[in-house]
Amino acid sequence: MFKSVYGPADVPGDVAERLGEPGEYPYTRGVYPTMYTQRPWTMRQYAGFGTAAESNARYHQLLEAGTTGLSVAFDLPTQMGYDSDNPVAAGEVGKVGVAIDSIEDMRRLFHEIPLDKVSTSMTINAPGSVLLLLYQLVAQEQGVPGDQLSGTIQNDVLKEYIARGTYIFPPKPSLRLVADTFAYCREEIPRWNTISISGYHMAEAGATPVQEVAFTLANGIEYVRAALAAGLAVDDFAPRLSFFFVARTTLLEEVAKFRAARRIWARIMRDEFGAQNPKSWMLRFHTQTAGVQLTAQQPEVNLIRVAVQGLGAVLGGTQSLHTNSYDEAIALPTEKAARLALRTQQVLAYETDLTATVDPFAGSYVVEAMTDEIAAEIDGLIGRVFEHGSAVDAIEAGFQKREIETSAYRIAQEIDSGERVVVGVNRFLIEQEEPYQPLRVDPAIEAEQAARLAQLRESRDADAVARSLDALREAAAGTANVLYPMREALRLRATVGETCDALREVWGRYQPTERF
């Protein structure tokens, strides 16, 4: 991709005129005119493990350390819509995130955290609406109305079929649930980002920067089409769409990727969907540094990798950033490692001059040429997706998954051959690694969660819960917005698993085809 020297011939035309100004269409230079010159990006730290009480303690530590936004990791049973006492949850409760089974767990998770003062991102997809409603109910108990809540639910189920696998329902009802969430938040939680359309997990599975953005924007087009088909007007929901990308160590390529993504999405929303509100044209995104590039060997080297990746995200114009902890290739991050990850962002924001000017790379021959090149490749790959008819049709044909797997295999070959250098893995090795004491989740929490669930079911009004779940099934079988009966069921202390089971009974479970 790289030439040794770039010059004016590599960026033909009037670059300044073509790029526009920061905060103006096509937003290549950033979605806001001042970017970080008045305040830095939102510093999020992705955290959650064990019980809600343990995660709450970590959130308080992060807030005291200066983080400006919380980002919640959920365990696999919660991500799949199962309660902690379900047999399929055995061995996974609290392992890769926090276990949330009911409104009582959500209360513990945000105990003494003022939800009108923090922005909360929740990495949850298939049951995203369920966790959002629990969050809203807890906020109401704090006296915080919906119009004062800000944050994001990932709610991006299409990428689950492509790269991650924590889906529940088939694609069509999943898209209906997303559209219902758009409509609900417009009325009830207007400042909430209703979806974070994610390329991160595809990148972690091996997608190239072009694949990451192309497949993400194709999914974004699919969500917009689903919302329009449900009767929503594009400018009623598009301003609350957000995106989620990775930042790799290939800094220049990543900066160009982010700039190209903004340009393409602005054109799609304005020209293809006819959005009139400039906020509908903006690609606002969260970035996480590349977990797949962390190494268990010489883990302290990950501090340098994360700093470079965070730098690329900032130079690329991200709206919020999570920097990985250096020990995450080994286990859940320790408190010290999580604090160091946050300090990395704070050094970038307060000890460098990155925030002194908007879009520092604008006019760089190499970055502008790479932005054009990457944008052209993204457009071409989006076209290949829609040759299948729709993004969902391409998913069901296995197109995106095959493309990513091919890329992942090529990367693995390059690492194995030494063509792609990974410090501490295939070059610059040491004879013996220093001992490291990882954070471990107490397996006893599984029994504790089960005991709390048993107590909840004994103490609640079982008949009222049953009626509320019947109302949810009825809405799911019809055309009414399912979030309103879902909220009532959760308020009455229906569990996450019971709520998802009610929808499973109506919509079924997704079964991947043999082509996957």
| C-alpha to C-alpha distance for 238 and 182, rounded to whole angstroms | 9
Distant-in-sequence, close-in-space partners of 147: CB < 8 Å, separation ≥ 6: 189, 190, 191
The partner residues of 24 in beta bridges, in order of sequence, read none
Residue 127 in contact with residue 496, Cβ under 8 Å? Answer: yes
Could you tell me the residue range of the domain that residue 264 belongs to? 9-417
- For a pLDDT cut of 90, what percent of the chain falls above it? 89
- Reported as type and span, the H/E element at residue 376 is helix 365-386
Residue 127 in this model has a pLDDT that exceeds 50? yes
* Gyration radius of the chain's alpha carbons: 22
Q: What is the pTM of this model?
A: 0.94
Q: 142 lies in a domain? A: yes
- For a pLDDT cut of 70, what percent of the chain falls above it? 99
- The DSSP secondary-structure symbol of 324 reads P
Angle, helices 462-477/483-491, rounded to nearest 10 degrees = 170
Closest CA to 44 of 144, 98, 118, 94: 118
The stretches of 168-250 forming alpha helices (DSSP H) are 171-188, 200-204, 209-229, 234-237
Q: 131 lies in a domain? A: yes
The partner residues of 206 in beta bridges, in order of sequence, read none
Per residue in 48-86, pLDDT tens? 888 999 999 999 999 999 988 899 999 999 999 999 999
Written as one letter, the residue type at 385 is V
Q: What is the pLDDT of residue 50?
A: 86
Closest CA to 326 of 438, 486, 492, 465: 438
| C-alpha to C-alpha distance for 207 and 202, rounded to whole angstroms | 5
- The DSSP secondary-structure symbol of 507 reads H
| C-alpha to C-alpha distance for 382 and 391, rounded to whole angstroms | 9
Stretch 297-323: mean pLDDT:
97
Residue 216 in this model has a pLDDT that exceeds 80? yes
Helices H / strands E in the chain, number of each? 21, 9
The partner residues of 286 in beta bridges, in order of sequence, read 244, 320
Q: 271 lies in a domain? A: yes
Per residue in 251-294, pLDDT tens? 999 999 999 999 999 999 999 999 999 999 999 999 999 999 99
Q: 112 lies in a domain? A: yes
| C-alpha to C-alpha distance for 426 and 400, rounded to whole angstroms | 29
SS3 510: coil
Total domains, the chain: 1
* Residue 384 or 443, more confident: 384
Q: 342 lies in a domain? A: yes
Q: 4 lies in a domain? A: no
Per residue in 343-401, pLDDT tens? 999 999 999 999 999 999 999 999 999 999 999 999 999 999 999 999 999 999 999 99
Say which CATH number the domain at 48 has.
Answer: 3.20.20.240
- The DSSP secondary-structure symbol of 164 reads I
Residue 308 in contact with residue 66, Cβ under 8 Å? Answer: no
Q: 16 lies in a domain? A: yes
What are phi and psi for residue 410, nearest 5 degrees?
A: -65, -40
- The DSSP secondary-structure symbol of 423 reads B
Stretch 175-196: mean pLDDT:
96
Q: 474 lies in a domain? A: no
